[in-house]
Amino acid sequence: MKLSIIIVNFNVAFYLEQCLNSVEKAVQNIDCELFVVDNNSVDGSCQMVRRLFPQVKLLGNATNVGFSKANNQAIKLATGEYILLLNPDTVVENDSFKLIIEYLDSHPESGGLGVKMIDGNGKYLPESKRGFPSPMVAFYKLSGFARIFPKSKQFNKYHLGYLDKDEIHEVDVLSGAFMMLRKLVIDKIGLLDETYFMYGEDIDLSYRIIKEGFKNIYFPKTTIIHYKGKSTQKGSLNYVILFYTAMKIFSQKFFSKSHARTFVIFINIAIYFRAFISLCRRIFTKLLYPIIDFIILYSGFALFSAQWGQYRYQNPNYDFPDFYYDVNIPIYGLILILSLYISGTYIRPIEIKKTIKWIAIAMLLNLILFALLPEKLRFSRAMFLVGTIWVFIFIPLSRFIFHFIDKQNFTIKSRNKRRTIIIGNEEECNRVNELIKEANKSEITIGFVSPVITENPHFLCNLSLLNTIIKIHKIDDVIFCEQDIPEKTIINEMIQITSKNIEFKIAPHRSRFIIGNSLTNSNPELYKIALNSIALKRNKIIKRAFDIALSIALILFSPILLFYFGKGIKNLLLNSVRIIKGTRTWVGYNYFITENQIDLPKMKQGIISIVQNKELDILQIQKTNLIYAKDYSILKDLYLVFSNFKHLCS
């Protein structure tokens, strides 16, 4: 056996499918075995592998055992001369393995090899080549000196910025996303250190390879796409802790005691500092809009109240009572913020039209509250009207101001449809275009691009004119049909396209999803056309708010409902508690069917099912699940709850 490929997967079924598609093409004419080790995914990854890739040796774990231990499980079974550790969120070129094996066969001193990596937008990833994280190297990276002096041999040893990214080099550290190893080297240095749960194991392994007298090679003659961080959210507090804990393990294992102690102190400071920055950033981004909205409402009502009082009562010293400032206005602001939060209008990108709509609803609620107050607490109707006008003007205005100050973090959703071109053969282009029409109203397909020269009038042009077409038609999204275009061509086009604001996506030929990098978010996102409603954050908030509100109402009215449910009232209360705790939802998929339907957004199990008709066949039930996921509405949940009220205690 020449090559053994090992992929450790955790809840990234769509990326894994695309990765396996590319690997399947790249191993043709190579004596190869392929392992997928699944760390207890709940997104249907194992079902997908069994269904679409029966030749894969699938190892399913009952728990998430971590990256190192999962790889070791497969390494112990591998028989290949070379062993590749490969991330599931990658796409390899068709000749990647052929070129790498040829190089390693002719360079026996090479113990491990890594490749040039780009992200989903074609941008070079500097972690393709790295140096060992000594205390000073880590300091320069964390302090920002490496970013300020990217080409410096002194300050940027971590990413070896002084080495040409397009030339073969001997390096210190290989990336765990793509790590080709000789089996005989692994036999000498041992397996991955299972002390590392995630991160750091690649540094550890690279260090042991060099210590044994072999070389680590950076090989940029082939390039892969690495979407980065789909199994973990980079920048999160959990990521920071995992990463720096791995650095501590490495330092204690290989540095002298004095150096290790210094490094651990430094790492601990880094953890707390990064955690503090992460917490502050999270609080800032979450609370900024609500705080500003409250300030706008309060300042508007307070500013005009004094002016109105003096005008109304002809008294230059007149002012409203303290109760107005301390209670009335804060309650108005609280109702406004809660309304905007529950409706999802704080979720970026901001929708101005939706914001105005929910401002109107919130101020209507405030008006009702105003009318219900005792007369001595109502104060001025004119003041309420002026304050409401103020809110309608300045809250949307604040959104525009922040949009122009910081478009990356405070983006306003454009009303213009994104302009898309699809690259592939006519049949596959039409299939992908139908997916867009079916489920995504925010995109418009400008036309198709042929992978080869053609006179077919249904194509705008061929790949040689892609850059020109993008500029002429002001294209936002480029979708590659995986079936029709070699991965090497896709990667080359991504690198060569000069427009900076293009989003690249790849459509696997057997699936109803498209994968790409979102430019509006620092983290890569799954771009899944067919199902984009229930997965939206705003809809998750609305559904969760509905669940909690209904649960509280059922608990409060349980004495009355006792006459309706009888002995079932106990189960009703238990279900309500489960809903509030977040372990269940009132309305969910038909989970008997969902086990074989992997392309549904994740959702907690429902007390009642979307599908109540037991006479429907499996395909009809699957379609009902898909429609619910695609076109979710709180009105559907209301209808299903009241239509099946007696089943709430089941």
Q: What is the pLDDT of residues 56-65, one digit of tens each?
A: 999 999 988 8
- The CA distance from 416 to 244, in Å, is 43
- Secondary structure (3-state) at 517: coil
pLDDT at 423 over 90: yes
Four-CA torsion 496, 502, 503, 504, nearest 10 degrees: -30
Q: Phi and psi of 566, rounded to 5°? A: 60, -130
Q: Which helix (H) or strand (E) holds 33?
A: strand 32-38
94 HSE (CA, 13 A, CB side): 12
Q: Which of 412-416, 559-563, 617-621 has the highest mean pLDDT?
A: 559-563
Which residue ranges make up each domain of the chain? 3-129+165-229, 233-413, 418-516, 537-649
577-591 pLDDT, tens digit per residue, is: 999 999 999 998 875
Q: List, for residues 46-104, the tens digit of each pLDDT value.
A: 988 998 999 999 999 998 888 889 999 999 999 999 999 999 999 999 999 999 999 99
Structure tokens at 20: 């396996």
Check residue 33 and give its pLDDT: 97
What number does CATH give the domain 3-129+165-229? 3.90.550.10
Instruction: Determine if the pTM surpasses 0.75.
Output: no
Q: CA 194, 197, 203 angle in degrees (round to 5)? A: 75
> Is the model's pLDDT at 531 over the cut of 50?
no
Assign 626 to helix, strand or coil: helix
Instruction: Assign 332 to helix, strand or coil.
Output: helix
Residue 574 token pair: 């238990």
Indicate the average pLDDT of the chain.
83
Which pLDDT belongs to residue 149? 81
Residue 507 has pLDDT above 80, yes or no: yes
> What b-and-e string marks burial along 547-561, b requiring 16 or more CB atoms within 10 Å of the CB?
beebbeebeeeeeeb
Q: Which two tokens stand for residue 298?
A: 């309060």
Who wins on pLDDT, 413 or 504? 504
Q: Which residues contact 335 (CB under 8 A, 6 or more apart)?
A: 362, 365, 366, 369
Q: From CA 348, how far away is CA 107, in angstroms rounded?
A: 51
Please tell me the distance from the alpha carbon of residue 567 to that of residue 192, in angstroms, as a whole number: 56
246 falls in which pLDDT band (50, 70, 90)? Answer: low
The span from the CA of 538 to the CA of 545, in Å, is 11
CA 109 to chain CA mean position, Å:
40
Maximum CA pair distance of the chain? 96
Q: Is the dihedral of CA 516, 522, 525, 531 positive or negative?
A: negative
Topology of the domain covering 418-516: Rossmann fold (3.40.50)
